[in-house]
Amino acid sequence: MAVNLRIPGPTPCPEEVLEAGAKPMINHRGPEFREMINRITERLQKLFYTKNDLFVLTASGTGAMEAAIVNTLSPGDRVLVVSIGEFGERFAAVARAYWADVVDLKFEPGTPADPDAIRKVLAADPRIKAVLVTHNETSTGITNDIPAISKVVKGEFNKLFIVDAISSIGSIPCPVDEWNLDVVTSGSQKGWMAPPGLAFISMSETAWKAQAQARMPRFYFDLAAAKRYLQRGQTPWTPAVSVFFALDASLELIDKEGMESVFTRHAVVAKKTREGVKSLGLKLLADERYASNTVTAVRVPEGVKAADIISRMDKEENVVLASGQGKLDGKIFRVGHLGYCSEADIQGVIDGLKRVLPMVGYKG
């Protein structure tokens, strides 16, 4: 029986994607790679709904977060980091590591960012140069209202707007140009149905203007080098060729399915997940109006250990769930439902929980 890998990345890959990843190596500076990177870049731009430059980096999503910061900012730049969980805090940590002057705006786990609160901070502190926000917070299963935040950040204050869309774009709508997002990041192991190892980043004209002034040190993640090499169909440093092969195949599948259908599919399995866990008497961490369509965080009921649920689900049901991160460790478990995920996969999770919960002390 195949494992039902229900963590928010790495996500399961379709068989043809795994097979494509096993193709023999090619010259990363030859014509075959050039055709592939051009095709992948164009498809990703289409799926990001953007005309902006877009680059594929050999790194995990965190590498793209670092690239977003070091390519657009200088040490001492004041930036507002809006955090609703672990990945928001990671954004702040990257910015601080490179000596940004970080203003934190944090919201309670399970709640989204409030655009009014962002407006107040920006109005009170005109020195803020950029705003960093997580679109979909994987640690709490919350999707921020980026269009509403963009109206403030771009529409009212015209700040550089950097969005971590790692676990959203490709699964739920995130039209980069329509929402006026300057820098947007993602990773291959999320909704893209490919193995981890590649990260994506799009850069608006405004972002390039910031880049021209940005003095944070960078080399591996230097997007000016990426841009120069992409013009000849290459990457500056040797790329993860086999993951490129896999991604090429998965983007082909996504393109065939069509983004509207992909979004609908994610909405359907997410709703099924939320309704399923609630039918067992469990509670969601997220304010349901902002519940993510890519990952669901479920509160661990009183008297039950999160580790017991996760371990039993793995051993007895072949379902791999994710634990809580940071302060939420032990308080929640998470169900990933992004990328290659069917209603049957979610039914397997709910059926498994139904059998396992009574074994671990749940009286619900």
Residue (79 or 118) nearer to its own copies, CB: 79
Residue (217 or 281) nearer to its own copies, CB: 217
- Torsion 15-16-22-28 (CA) sign: negative
CA distance 61 to 188: 8
- Give CA torsion, residues 183, 189, 275, 266, to 10 deg: 70
Residue (2 or 124) nearer to its own copies, CB: 2
Residue (215 or 278) nearer to its own copies, CB: 215
Residue 303 beta carbon to its own copies: minimum distance, rounded to whole angstroms: 25
SS3 of residue 199 by DSSP: strand
Residue (91 or 290) nearer to its own copies, CB: 91
Which residues form the interface with its own copies (CB under 8 A)?
2-3, 5, 7, 9-13, 18-19, 21-30, 58-63, 66, 93-94, 97-99, 187, 189, 195-197, 216-222, 236-243, 246, 314, 320, 322-323
Residue 313 beta carbon to its own copies: minimum distance, rounded to whole angstroms: 12
- Torsion 74-76-80-86 (CA) sign: positive
Residue 198 beta carbon to its own copies: minimum distance, rounded to whole angstroms: 8
Residues in the chain: 364
- Which CB contacts under 8 angstroms, 24+ apart, belong to 213-219? 213/74, 214/70, 214/71, 214/72, 214/73, 214/74, 215/74, 215/75, 216/69, 216/70, 216/71, 216/73, 216/74, 216/75, 216/98, 216/99, 216/100, 217/70, 217/98, 218/67, 218/70, 218/71
Residue (222 or 308) nearer to its own copies, CB: 222
Residue 71 beta carbon to its own copies: minimum distance, rounded to whole angstroms: 12
Residue 200 beta carbon to its own copies: minimum distance, rounded to whole angstroms: 14
Residue (225 or 259) nearer to its own copies, CB: 225
Residue (94 or 149) nearer to its own copies, CB: 94
**Cα separation values, 296 from 59, 143, 195, 272, 291, Å:** 26, 11, 21, 11, 7
Residue 363 beta carbon to its own copies: minimum distance, rounded to whole angstroms: 29
Residue with tokens 């039914």: 347
At residue 168, φ and ψ (nearest 5 deg) are -120, -60
SS3 of residue 85 by DSSP: coil
Residue 195 is which amino acid?
P
Rg for the chain, CA atoms, rounded:
20
SS3 of residue 163 by DSSP: strand
Residue 304 beta carbon to its own copies: minimum distance, rounded to whole angstroms: 20
Residue 18 beta carbon to its own copies: minimum distance, rounded to whole angstroms: 4
Give the residues across from 103 on adjacent strands: 80
